[in-house]
Amino acid sequence: MSMQPVARPPRIGLVALTPEARSAIGAEAVAASPLPYRVGRESRGPRRGWTLTREQRQLGTSPSNELYLPEPSEPLNVSREHFQIEWDGRGLVLVDRGSTCGTLVEGQEVGGQGQGGSVPLKDGDVIIVGTAFSPFVFKVRVELDSPGS
C-alpha cells in the first residue's frame, strides 16, 4: 500500500505595489511565513509616520500578527486583526479575520463589517487591505518547490 505524499505549502511572498506597502514591510517584498501569516494594523505605537512594522508588546505575550501595517491617519482601512493567509492542504486561502472594511482580492470583496470570509489565493493575485482607497496593496507570489526538494 503506497501512501500519497502530503502536499506541503509553497513558499509565498507579498510584493509591495505602493510606497506605503513598501514602507510598512521595509522592502520590496516580504516572505509570508510561517503560515498562517497574519496581517493587521499597528495600534500600539505613535500614529505619526510610517515607521512601525512590528508590534511593541510586553514580554511573554504572543503577537497577534506577523505583519503590522501602520495607519497614521483617518479613515482607517486596516483592522487590528485584518486577514491571514493559510494553507488548507490543497491550496492557499486568504481568510478575513472579521475586519471592518474587508479585503479586496482581485477586485472581489472578502469579509467586511465583521463578517469574515475566505477566498482561494493564487500566484499574481492583488490584495488591497481594506477599501479600494487603502494605500496597502500587495501582489501574491507563489514559489512551488521542485520535486525532490
Instruction: List the CATH number of the domain containing 42.
Output: 2.60.200.20
CA 88, CA 39: separation in Å to the nearest integer? 18
Predicted pLDDT of residue 149: 44
Predicted pLDDT of residue 4: 53
Predicted pLDDT of residue 145: 59
Range of the domain at 52: 11-143
Q: Among residues of the chain, what percentage have pLDDT more than 90?
A: 68
Predicted pLDDT of residue 143: 87
Cell triple for residue 106? 482581485
User: Phi-psi region for residue 138, left (φ > 0), alpha (ψ -120 to 50) or beta?
Assistant: beta
- Domain for residue 64, yes or no? yes
- Domain for residue 52, yes or no? yes
The β-bridge relationship of strands 67-70 and 37-42 is: parallel
Which residues are within 8 A (CB) of 82 and not within 5 positions of it... i.e. 6 or more apart? Answer: 39, 40, 41, 69, 96, 97, 99, 103, 129, 130
Q: Does the structure show a pLDDT above 90 at 113? A: yes
Q: What is the pTM of this model?
A: 0.81
- pLDDT tens digits for range 20-70: 999 999 999 999 999 999 999 987 554 444 443 444 444 555 678 999 999
- pLDDT tens digits for range 43-53: 755 444 444 34
- Domain for residue 3, yes or no? no
Predicted pLDDT of residue 132: 94
Q: Does the structure show a pLDDT above 50 at 108? A: yes
- Domain for residue 2, yes or no? no
Q: Among residues of the chain, what percentage have pLDDT more than 70?
A: 79
Number of domains the chain contains? 1
The better pLDDT of the pair 128, 57 is held by 128
DSSP of 112-137, one letter per residue?
A: -TT--EEEEE-TT-EEEESSTT-S-E
